[in-house]
Structure 1
């Protein structure tokens, strides 16, 4: 008789992709994500669909939503440019203190956002030591949101750059391709999905940010008041339906952005698979 090795005997037991893990995952997501979202959506409809629509289309709500979306788009664009440059430098260049710079990139994630607002107010407020006054201005809000969203593009682009095969770039350079052609034809297409993902994450974080702008922003309606501050204001004046309506609008914008990012990622994956 042929001996059967123990290693070849199939083992039965708990699997991480089994029904139990799926049930735990569904329960956890329901408690942490789905139930709170359902609660805020239900509150937005306390006065019916007309109450939701009135809360979103109120002049003050439209102003704050417009300010929030425009500034967040600018923040995402700034992060695309400088985040990609920072990721490139961290991956392709060697310089003293590189490890420290790499650690500082994650500081906005670790630092409480209200502390970031206090730091920015101390540096660019009425008593600015550098003579730059940005308190209660849109540039101040832009700076605060850029600070807290800095890591998104950097951390999305950096690993892709690390895995990118530089031999293709070297071959193109040997054949006489300029740096601009190498960047636009070889490097950028490979980085584009990660850049877009980082930009989308930065945008969705910016539209819901509160702590970093609470001090330096000034909360001036129609000027520097962002959506999160408007929501707080509506709660304070006992208009929870209006607060919930604007919250639902922000959730819808964030969901659409994330959905588009997933679609772009799938299209890019299919293209790479077909090639």
Structure 2
């Protein structure tokens, strides 16, 4: 046995228990204090259902857009290397460093009725700020770096010889992309999608400034949690938080299973 193994294991278990397991247990137990009937009634209220649908729906759509856009950005940086690609690579990490409230105010100003982008769109009859479209933009902004950072290292490590060999064997560009490149980067894309989705479900600061926060229309679940806390409805807030936690966990577990099955699926593919 490695010296200090039991001590380090005990410290790790205690640390994880205090910071992760106990808070999660408290969150799971609090909504049941009034009984299962009350919990069901709290979660099936029209306002709660609308907020949960909006949060999960926009998070899924935004993560899907982030996956496509993140793949294109990662491909551009790894393979095309245009002028100024190092600056582009640094800018991608900006949402990680930028406070979410600052990001929300910036997006609301940019896409507002008098903003640089919002004004031309408003002239064309398109309203972005204070709508569900604004929520999508905010979630794409904060979720895109997860996909790029998950995919870029894989593309950088992928040998160019694989593409050249496939091209020599007569494979068309579409075949190379689908049967050589995609199987190699698909696990990274799935990881990036899962991280972007999990971030989007719980995103608060960057969304509330551009969402409009109208009940049943553009009110996200994290905001409804804050509202219930302000009303001293701690059990109701915990109930929504528990649903968000379980929903995000189920999606992440499903994506982990898919990621584990991808190597076997890739091995079963027919050769070029």
TM-score, normalised to structure 1, is 0.90
Please name the residue that 2:220 is paired with.
226
CA distance in 2, matches of 1:165, 1:36: 45
SS at the partner of 1:216?
Answer: helix
Q: Is the 8 A contact 2:59 2:197 kept in 1?
A: yes
Contact 1:125 1:134 in 2 (8 A): yes
2:237 corresponds to which of 243, 248, 253 = 243
- Decide whether aligned partners of structure 1 residues 129 and 274 sit closer, same or farther in structure 2, where only a CA change above 3 A counts: closer
- Which runs of structure 2 are paired with 1:1-275 in the superposition (5 Å)? 14=3, 18-130=5-117, 131=119, 132=121, 133-269=127-263
**C-alpha contact 1:53 1:245 (8 A) present in aligned 2:** no
How far is 1:65 from its partner?
A: 0.7
Q: 1:135 and 1:271, CA in 2 relative to 1: closer, same or farther beyond 3 A?
A: closer
* Residues 193, 268 of structure 1: 8 Å contact kept: yes
Alignment size in residue pairs:
262
CA distance in structure 2 between the aligned counterparts of 1:79 and 1:165, rounded to whole angstroms? 25
Query: 1:87 touches 1:154 (CA, 8 Å); kept in 2?
Result: yes
SS class of match (1:45): helix
| Aligned-residue RMSD, C-alpha | 1.9
CA gap of 1:152–1:124, structure 2 versus 1, over 3 A, is: same
1:153 and 1:199 in contact (8 A); partners too: yes
CA deviation after TM superposition for structure 1 residue 51, in Å:
2.1
Q: Rg: which structure is higher?
A: 1
Shift of 1:190: 1.1
Rounded to whole Å, the distance in 2 between the matches of 1:153 and 1:28 is 29
- Report Cα offsets for 1:100-157 as digits up to 9, x if no partner: 1111111101111010001011111132133144221011010011101111111111
Cα 1:114/1:52, change in 2 over 3 Å = same
Change (3 A) 1:251 1:13: closer
**Local SS of the residue matching 1:189:** helix
Gaps of 5+ in 1: 1-11
Structure in which a larger fraction of residues adopt helix: 2
CA distance in 2 between counterparts of 1:204 and 1:176 reads 41
Q: Structure 2: how far apart are the matches of 1:63 and 1:101?
A: 37
Deviation at 1:220, TM superposition (A): 0.7
Q: CA deviation at 1:274?
A: 9.2
Residue 184 of structure 1, CA deviation = 0.7
1:59: Cα distance to partner?
A: 1.2
- Give the Cα separation in 2 of the matches to 1:137 and 1:210: 15
Instruction: Indicate conservation of the 8 Å contact 2:183/2:266, yes or no.
Output: no
Asked whether the 8 Å contact 1:108–1:148 carries over to 2, the reply is: yes
